[in-house]
């Protein structure tokens, strides 16, 4: 097992990652809905975003994987990605025959009563190539949510932090134009990374420990 990035207040590159799925069918079930778009924000906190929205889902996944392989080792930041984004990507990759540098392993310490993603048993920890992973949702849900008595959706927390997330009807994501989709998924990726960056001295304590050798998703989880 390899060591992850040191838990310190000095931030490694933080790459916000967000996905959008096909709400025309069931965008909450990776056995049904395809991935429409993925955004990865720049690791230096800038406004740049790499967008992956190829009409061919396997090619979209391959392009995303190749991009992450080229980035300097850092931390992939998601919002509820331990339970949704990353398991969703892993399942779609398995179903479409795409090999990713993504590695998931179960996190039995997280029992929050929420329903698991179809095909999965609960929350996962993750790594992707040389990148560690941090689910910023869990950081804010642990203290900000209870203290302010608010739901910790990304949009709610981002607005409270003074950010201006792009908002759309989440049930009609499939109706967005290419430009609207790019703005929406890119905004979520940037907000996710920025929220982690603002709390890095404590957030870094919740980084997933990286495992050196990836293992395939058990076939039975895809049934």
Tens-digit pLDDT profile for residues 29-82 = 999 999 999 999 999 988 899 999 999 999 999 999 999 999 999 999 999 999
Domain total of the chain = 1
**pLDDT per residue as tens digits for the range 168-178:** 999 999 999 99
Task: Tell me whether residue 221 is in a domain.
Answer: no
Task: Tell me whether residue 1 is in a domain.
Answer: no
pTM over 0.85? The answer is: yes
Overall average pLDDT of the 77-102 stretch: 96
Task: Tell me whether residue 67 is in a domain.
Answer: yes
Task: Tell me whether residue 9 is in a domain.
Answer: no
Task: Tell me whether residue 2 is in a domain.
Answer: no
Please, which pLDDT band fits residue 111 given cuts at 50, 70 and 90? low
**CATH (domain of 111):** 3.30.420.10
Task: Tell me whether residue 6 is in a domain.
Answer: no
Residue 113 has pLDDT above 70, yes or no: no
Task: Tell me whether residue 117 is in a domain.
Answer: yes
Residue 189 belongs to domain spanning: 14-214
Q: Which of 111-115, 123-127, 131-135 has the lowest mean pLDDT?
A: 111-115
Report whether 9 contacts 200 (CB < 8 A): yes
Report whether 79 contacts 15 (CB < 8 A): no
């Amino acid at each position: 097992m390899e060591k992850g990035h040191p838990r310190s207040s000095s931030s490694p590159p933080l790459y916000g990652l967000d996905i959008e799925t096909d709400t025309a069918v069931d965008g909450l079930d990776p056995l049904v809905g395809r991935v429409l778009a993925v955004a990865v924000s720049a690791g230096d906190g800038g406004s740049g975003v790499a967008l992956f929205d190829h009409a061919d889902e396997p090619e979209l996944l391959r392009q995303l994987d190749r991009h992450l392989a080229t980035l300097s080792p850092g931390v992939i930041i998601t919002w509820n990605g331990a339970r949704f984004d990353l398991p969703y990507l892993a399942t779609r990759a398995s179903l479409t025959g795409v090999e990713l540098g993504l590695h998931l392993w179960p996190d039995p310490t997280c029992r929050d009563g929420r329903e698991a993603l179809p095909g999965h048993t609960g929350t996962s920890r993750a790594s992707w190539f040389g990148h560690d992973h941090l689910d910023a949702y869990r950081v804010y849900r642990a203290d900000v949510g209870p203290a302010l008595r608010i739901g910790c959706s990304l949009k709610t927390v981002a607005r409270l932090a003074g950010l201006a997330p792009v908002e759309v009807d989440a049930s009609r994501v499939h109706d967005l134009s290419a430009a609207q989709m790019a703005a929406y998924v890119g905004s979520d990726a940037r907000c996710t990374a920025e929220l982690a960056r603002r709390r890095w001295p404590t957030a870094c304590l919740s980084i997933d420990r990286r495992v050196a050798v990836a293992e395939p998703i058990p076939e039975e989880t895809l049934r």
